[in-house]
Chains A and B, each alone.
Chain A
Amino acid sequence: MANPLKGEVIRLYKNLLYLGREYPKGSVYFRERLKSAFMKNKDVTDPEQIKKLVARGEFVIKELEALYFLRKYRAIKKRYYEPEE
């Protein structure tokens, strides 16, 4: 793996792993899929390709944050507010 990008990839993995603790299907499910997704690309050497994959990982982080927020918002709204007609 290209050296300067190795740090970025590991950082991305750690960030995703941290986010996965709250995954609705469980952190174990998330970790298994996260690991296999990263291992699938472990032989990529082209820095451009790696950057693209890291960007996709960052996108997944944003998607997870949105998922968690919506899930929480909807649950709280359902529990505390009258249904809008």
Chain B
Amino acid sequence: MSGRVLVGVKRVIDYAVKIRVKPDNSGVVTDGVKHSMNPFCEIAVEEAVKLKEKKLIKEVVAVSCGPQQSQETIRTALAMGADRGIHVEVAGKDYETLGPLQVSKIMAALAKKEDAQLIILGKQAIDDDCNQTGQMTAALLDWPQGTFASEVSLDGDKVKVVREIDGGLETIKISTPAVLTADLRLNTPRYATLPNIMKAKKKKIANVKPADLGVDLTSRLEVLKVEEPPQRQAGVKVETVEDLVGKLKETGRI
């Protein structure tokens, strides 16, 4: 086994930013807005780096698909301990329609090209909340998948994954090569401090175009409209219990 792990990292609007919808309802405002690495992707990178520190795998390669700025996200992954990066350049219209299907095609092509043993992704991105890329990538490669992983352990050519599911926790054992998606409780991502960022400047980021990987980026989806969620109705204060019962009857609640 090559001992190489691919980690997908996505550049998204920072989790703490208040999202604003564009006046023409075509999308959200991204110009001049703070962006950072998707929190679940941070957890994915941390898991890969931990595996390398335990000497269970040999190399962590951080991959990001997007415009020039995606390189910043790759640099953060390198600062967290990834060995090298691959920036798949997607810009303009292609980037606007870039979704899980296209990204999973890219990840699958890269996995074959780099002879990856594992692909670790975040379970979903906080901007589109698709929760599809990991699953689609596994399907395209015909690899087993361990999604919503809250615990991962390598044992020879098998991976034991504890998954967070609605009913509780499910433990599965899958063989490598495999795709894993990271859930919130998998680990505590380390912070990319300034000294680490400086050291990471020496690490290489390769530039690749989707065409080089033979991937067609055509989207089968069209965004028709983006709207804000409905405003919360203001509550009504009442003086007495009688008033409360009256109001409830009024609105047909009782």
Contacts and interface: CB of A to CB of B under 8 A. Distances in A.
A76 B188 contact: no
**What is the predominant secondary structure among interface residues of chain B facing chain A?**
loop
A61 interface: yes
B193 A81 contact: no
A9 to B, nearest CB: 15
Nearest to B123: A80
B226 to A, nearest CB: 18
Given A69-B188, A81-B184, A76 B193 contact: no
A37 interface: no
A18 B126 contact: no
Contact of A73 (B184, B191, B194): B184
Given A72-B39, A75-B15, A18 B184 contact: no
Nearest to A70: B188
A26 to B, nearest CB: 12
Interface in A39-71: 61, 65, 68-69, 71
A72 B15 contact: yes
Given A75-B16, A76-B39, A15 B184 contact: no
Contacts of A24: 16
Contacts of A19: 191, 193-194
A4 B250 CA distance: 77
A14 interface: yes
B184 A77 contact: yes
Nearest to A69: B188
